[in-house]
Amino acid sequence: MTEGWHDLYVMLGSSTAALLGLLFVAASMHLDEARKNPVYERRARNNTLHMLVLLVEAAFILTPQPPAWLGSELVAINLLGLWIPASFTYRSLVTRRDEARRGGWGLHRAIAYMTGYLLGAALIARASCGLYLVTASYIIILAFVVLNAWTILMGISQPQKARR
């Protein structure tokens, strides 16, 4: 079932692992600044969780297994991934509105992540275009993780620029 997708997911999984490593390096270089702002700290943690979900998803797709098992694993990992933006959105809208606003939280970002994970979990409906939806999900989430990481780094670098 996944033979035709092998090369793409080797590339996606490798890219995700490399970006995850870069995220750790960038975060460690600005750790004090990120810890001063709880929103950036949570966003960096959520980015890490999103990338771990993507990495596990690529591993599932590359693992030789029956299609029913793969489908179940992909649905489970995408529903787990959906929890990340759903819980953060709830906290941002209900309990930490001011913090979220200062940290640049945006509903567009949350909707993009949730849409990505819902596409990835679309196998529940036994969609005939299964891995196409999973791949679209993967790329949407990966793109938003990269954009989110960029905004975090730009935000935490602001105090350093002001000191000069």
- Average pLDDT of every residue of the chain: 79
pLDDT in tens, 22-80: 888 877 777 777 677 777 777 788 889 999 999 999 999 999 988 888 888 888 888 88
Alpha carbon dihedral 134, 136, 139, 145, in 10-degree steps, equals -80
Of residues 153, 83, 88, the one with CA closest to residue 118: 83
Those residues with Cβ within 8 angstroms of residue 17's Cβ, 6 or more apart along the chain or in another chain: 55
Selected residue with higher pLDDT from 97 and 40: 40
Average pLDDT over residues 101-105: 55
Those residues with Cβ within 8 angstroms of residue 145's Cβ, 6 or more apart along the chain or in another chain: 19, 47, 50, 51, 54
Provide the whole-model pTM.
0.79
In angstroms, rounded to a whole number, what is the distance separating the alpha carbons of residues 90 and 96?
9
Selected residue with higher pLDDT from 15 and 124: 15
Contact 89, 79 (CB under 8 A): no
Cβ burial, residue 125 (10 Å; 0-12/13-18/19+):
exposed
Those residues with Cβ within 8 angstroms of residue 84's Cβ, 6 or more apart along the chain or in another chain: 46, 49, 50, 53, 113
Give how many domains the chain has, as a whole number: 1
Which structural domain, as residue segments, surrounds residue 54?
3-163
